[in-house]
Amino acid sequence: MEGSSLPVQKMTSKIINFISFQLVWFVCILGAAINETHAAVAISLIVILFHFYLTKDKKTELKIVLIAGIIGFLFDGFLLKNEMVLYADHGWPYSITPLWIIVLWMGFAITLNSSLSWLKKKIELSALFGAIGGPLAYLAGEKLEAVSILSPDAIIVIAIGWAIITPLLLIITNKLSKNA
Query: Which whole-number Å values give the CA distances from 78 to 53, 96, 97, 147, in the listed order?
Result: 33, 9, 9, 15
Give the chain's domain count: 1
Rounded to a whole number of angstroms, the distance between the first and last alpha carbons of the chain is 30
Nearest of 58, 170, 171, 51 to residue 112 by alpha carbon: 170
pLDDT one-digit tens code per residue, 7-30: 788 889 999 999 999 999 999 999
Query: What helix, strand, coil percent values describe the chain, rounded to 5?
Result: 75, 5, 20
**pTM across the whole model:** 0.93
Provide φ and ψ at 147, rounded to 5°: -145, 150
Q: How far is CA 77 from CA 9, 22, 46, 70, 108, in A?
A: 38, 23, 25, 10, 17
Q: Which residue range(s) make up the domain with 155? A: 2-179
For 78-113, the pLDDT digits (tens) are 999 999 999 998 888 888 999 999 999 999 999 999
